[in-house]
Structure 1
Amino acid sequence: MILQIALLITTVKFLFIPLYHSTDFEVHRNWLALSHNLSVKDWYYESTSEWTLDYPPLFAWLEYGLSHIAKFFDANMLQVSNLNYNSHMTIMFQRLSVISLDLLYILSAKSCSALVANGKLLVFILLVSNPGLLMVDHIHFQYNGFLYGFLLFSISHMIRSNFIQAAVWFSLLLNLKHIFLYIAPVYAVHLLRTYCFTVSSNDGIHTAWYSFSFGNLLKVAIAVITVFVISFGPFIDHMPQVIARLFPFKRGLCHAYWAPNFWALYNFTDKALQYALPKCGFAIPKVEAAMTGGLVQEYDHAVLPSIKPSITFILTVVSMLPALIKLWHLGADRRYRVLSFVRCLVVCATCSFMFGWHVHEKAILMILIPLSFLAVLGDVDGKMFLIISTVGHYSLFPLLYPKNLLPIKIFMLLTHMAIGFGNIPTLYEVAKTKGGKKRRAFMRLPMLGQIESLYIYGLLAVCIYETVLHEAWGLSKSLPFLPLMLTSVYCSLGVIYFWINYYYYFLTFNLSKVPIVGAMNLNQYVKKAN
């Protein structure tokens, strides 16, 4: 059925070809043009278009390779000055390029799903039918699927104890899109702990180290450095310009549409205080309502302290430290260790999503995709996946703002929810009556508590307000950003709830007490490193 499901999902992608596409379509058309026509040394200086090249070199080389195929579709798309060019053949090529590269993602999903026993097909379906990737890549338009293919291949190799291959796949990923630097510390800690050190004894609490393999460390270092040299070598004389493009800190704390994280609540609180304090007699300087203007630039908060990039960096690092320390001090059970590596990826990805600088709403996929693999490997993993998958995918709805896309968005989300809620709970023990029937409160979703279920149902109210009531009440002109803010703030509550609960679960995880129903096949892959 794996081949049949892959073909079905691919067919759906073909149906999306004529739909709306965002400015990211022009971004990548411009990158095709500049990489095709300019010398390598000029790639990171070109500024004819406002959408300048700001991805690492390997992605630029990918665009260069694609450009030599694009010229057979429509050579006019490869003119640097041909801004906002979107002929029928240009659209066809760009869409087909995303669909074709997704083959890597499908193969990586198969590779990961092969690691589990009970729930193998479910894992594959959850990964390849991810509505976030369908919305972001195949309607909104980006290249995320094949990038997550690199991540999943890296994870599968790490679980199989193929450490050098895992390091190479992840290094390639970093040189394609540098946002994955956020989870690089997890790789560093796990590789050092598992591949470079040998453990003599472990009583579950205290670990004794007895040898360090400098040779293994050297192997990893050579593999990683080689990838970076090949990627950045041609730009060695232009590194300041490349770094400036890759890390544009002038874009502001939040993206135009607030990602549902801690800063969405921070911004909302600032706006609420700016409105409420003057009514209580406090003098507040008037500031333009910039934080809700939907623009990408730096702003100062009106009441709360303004946030600088250094603050977000410190908060992100500090929030990750307990998870990294836990990962370092794991026991000797290698199955426990590799599963904890993937869980730590999810935790640290969430930390970066929560506190990072200028976080894009699409970064929620860095949490959802590894967690899709874990959903069948532990009951809490499954429950938390059901919550964050629903909230995270709904938070992407505003990306597809044309009204005619609403039924498509809702259908994709509900279908994915039906797959998750209909199958994941059946893998675990559930509360039963003496007669053997499942007992669940009215309107309570499977595996979720009453309040958690009510929160999920609350997304329906948010959707109704955004799509019907906001305009019906005549607020679309006076408060145009309110629906976006409502989505960000409401979804941020769910993301924060997930972060706290999953972090606690990771730090207090007890292998003997948690049902792990799908991990039986892992034993044949996990082997000693030394």
Structure 2
Amino acid sequence: MDRVSRSSRSSLTQRITPEQDQTALRAPAATGFCLWIVSTCVKILLFPAYRSTDFLVHRHWKALTRTLPLEEWYFDDRHVDTVHTLDYPPGFALWESAWANLYQGFVDWLLPSMGMFDDGDSCLQLLADERIQQDPDVISSTCVAYLRSTVVASDLLLWIGAYAVASACGSAQSRPFWTVFLLITLHPGLLWLDHVHFQYNGMLLGWLLLSVGCLMHGNQCNTGKGLAFHAWHLAAAVSFAVLLAMKHLYLTLSLWYFAYLLRRYCFVKDKFSWFRLTSLGLVTFTTLLAPFLPFLWSAYTSTSMTMTAQLHQIISRLFPFSRWVGTRLLGRQSLGHLCHVPKSRSSRRNYNSHPDTFTRFFALDLGFNTRFRVRLEGGKVTMQLLAATLFKLLYLGFFLAGLPRPRKGHYDYSFAADVM
């Protein structure tokens, strides 16, 4: 069936004239544009919907990036009483700053052109949590509309990443392309999380999909050499590095990327290439370092801040080890938490029981004494990163040992057509 389907597709391709081919190329673009218009309208209709505390988190982050100098962004608790402190990497902080700087143009130009006017000037001001709780109306409808609009605009990266993956599965006229593309871009879970609950998961997922799409296109290079082969794999590394600079919890995927790129890209005819490894490490390190440079330079030029203090504060925000108290694990060591969980006791128990159990199991299997007790502070705890990293460390050796050699031919992702 596979041979028949491929031969039929090739015969159909041979019958297409140049004029028909140009028409066929225009149709997918028009279809995609119509889908984008429809999905955007649905997202705009969700502007008045329920929003979680994550809305207040991102509003505060935009406010501090607009109000405070660069070297004070990760010291925002000095200036306002809030629990929504900035705890994402510098790349995401700069992303928030870009949207915050566009807010004034939104108020001064876009709203009057639509016959609307700003009904409050406190949207991107530093506000204490107590004030927002006492007066929820301090967050105006204009502020809600703007922040919702930033999520809608950020979804463009999701569509780019979806196209990168879908285009590796087939041509724009094929069923595999549209199946993959529609399942990603019209996913109801992303619609709920980003445009109701309020997050930027679509944008982050877009960077991840863009990286995966580059790897898939790199696999389709026939010889494992040439400019296209190098460009696709280096672009995948850069895209994943940008993702890490935006959200550090994706570090749990870094070992898989390292193992894959090491075997697929750094070996040439079963011989290791130090040049490829160096070039791969150089582009990755440069991409990761770039968002930190403005903060380090701002601290260097400041009279009240040192580069060491700035870097230490950023790392302590990203990996807040001091938030764990009363922990005994592999000796008396404190472990950090890297995510926020629901406040209810039942949901917190379900959310964290599995990582704790798995971490205990694997640590016992390795011969460590894992009897420990944990007292939660402020309803916040996580063992996710620790457990996930432990999983990947255990599997990495097996993965590298059993990884097949790179094929000389290209990988064909059009198998989805035969399945459907």
Q: 1:216 deviation in Å?
A: 0.9
Distance 1:147 1:226 in 2: 20
Counting only pairs closer than 5 Å after superposition, residues 131-530 of structure 1 correspond to structure 2 as 131-161=188-218, 162-199=232-269, 209=270, 211-236=271-296, 237=307, 238-249=310-321, 250=323, 255-256=341-342, 257-258=347-348, 263=353, 296-297=379-380, 313=386, 316-318=389-391, 321-322=394-395, 325-326=398-399, 329-332=402-405, 334=407, 428=419
Distance 2:93 2:286 in 1: 18
Distance 1:327 1:260 in 2: 33
Structure showing greater relative contact order (alpha-carbon pairs closer than 8 Å, 6 or more residues apart): 1
Stretch deviating more after TM superposition (48-57 or 330-339): 330-339
Correspondence for 1:343: none
Correspondence for 1:65: 98
Question: Could you say what secondary structure the match of 2:83 adopts?
Answer: coil
Correspondence for 2:222: none
Distance 2:349 2:409 in 1: 32
In the alignment, is residue 44 of structure 1 matched against residue 114 of structure 2?
no
Q: What letter corresponds to residue 90 of structure 1 in structure 2?
A: C
Q: 1:94 deviation in Å?
A: 0.2
Check conservation: 2:62, 2:124, Cα contact below 8 A.
yes
Correspondence for 1:94: 147
Q: Deviations over 1:47-71 (max 9, x none)?
A: 1221000010011111111111112
Distance 1:5 1:220 in 2: 37
Q: 1:330 deviation in Å?
A: 2.4
Name structure 2 gaps, 5 residues minimum. Answer: 1-30, 108-117, 133-137, 219-231, 297-306, 325-336, 358-372
Question: Could you say what secondary structure the match of 2:386 adopts?
Answer: helix
Check conservation: 2:122, 2:139, Cα contact below 8 A.
no
How many matched pairs? 305
Check conservation: 1:104, 1:146, Cα contact below 8 A.
yes
Q: What letter corresponds to residue 116 of structure 1 in structure 2?
A: C
Q: What letter corresponds to residue 142 of structure 1 in structure 2?
A: Q
- C-alpha change, 1:101 and 1:225, in structure 2 (3 Å) is same
Question: Could you say what secondary structure the match of 2:88 adopts?
Answer: coil
Q: 1:25 deviation in Å?
A: 0.7
TM-score, structure 1 as length reference: 0.52
Q: Of 163, 167, 174, which aligns to 1:110?
A: 163
Q: What letter corresponds to residue 59 of structure 1 in structure 2?
A: F
TM-score, structure 2 as length reference: 0.65
Root-mean-square deviation (Å): 3.3
- C-alpha change, 1:337 and 1:82, in structure 2 (3 Å) is farther
Distance 1:222 1:245 in 2: 26
- C-alpha change, 1:198 and 1:245, in structure 2 (3 Å) is same
Distance 1:53 1:218 in 2: 33
Distance 1:41 1:67 in 2: 17
| Percent of pairs with identical residues | 31
Q: 1:146 deviation in Å?
A: 1.0
